[in-house]
Amino acid sequence: MARKKDKTQQREIARERIARLFYMAKIFYKDNPSLSDNCVKHARVISMKHRIRIPKPYNRQYCRNCYRFLVPGDNLKVRIHRKKVIMTCSKCGYMRRYPILEKKEK
């Protein structure tokens, strides 16, 4: 039983580290973009090692093809087309599409 508790504690620590790495990537981007790309790569390695998902807000901050930290207007083109948000990486040209969710009325 102690081992299972230890695994959940390790996963919680891994989630905190992922959040911290994305925060640091955001800070490092102005001075050294390659360092912020390294932060993203380390966050991915941590998530794969502990078998946890990267949370949705962080998951949309990097390119799934080249693992580059994305900043809108600098190395990311964002546009809206047919009720979808289309994000295009300027380095590799990879496009991600997200539907625009409509709010439900009560």
pLDDT at 37: 95
Confidence category of residue 4, pLDDT binned at 50, 70, 90: low
First-residue to last-residue Cα distance in the chain: 45
Model-level pTM?
A: 0.85
Residue 63, annotated as binding a ligand: yes
Kind plus residue range of the DSSP H or E element containing 87: strand 84-89
> Are the C-beta atoms of residues 53 and 47 closer than 8 Å to each other?
yes
pLDDT (tens digit per residue) in 57-103:
999 999 999 999 999 999 999 999 999 999 999 999 999 999 998 88
pLDDT at 3: 64
DSSP 10-71: HHHHHHHHHHHHHHHHHHHTTT-HHHHHHHHHHHHHHHHHHT-PPPHHHHTTB-TTT-PBP-
Residue 39, annotated as binding a ligand: no
Q: Write down all domains in the chain, each with its CATH number in brackets.
A: 2-71 (1.20.5.420)
pLDDT at 31: 95
Residue 30 has which token pair? 């102005």
User: Rounded to whole angstroms, what are the CA distances from 106 to 83, 90, 100?
Assistant: 22, 41, 19
Q: Is the model's pLDDT at 36 over the cut of 60?
A: yes
pLDDT at 24: 96
pLDDT (tens digit per residue) in 15-30:
999 999 999 999 999 9
pLDDT at 6: 85
d(CA 23, CA 31): 14
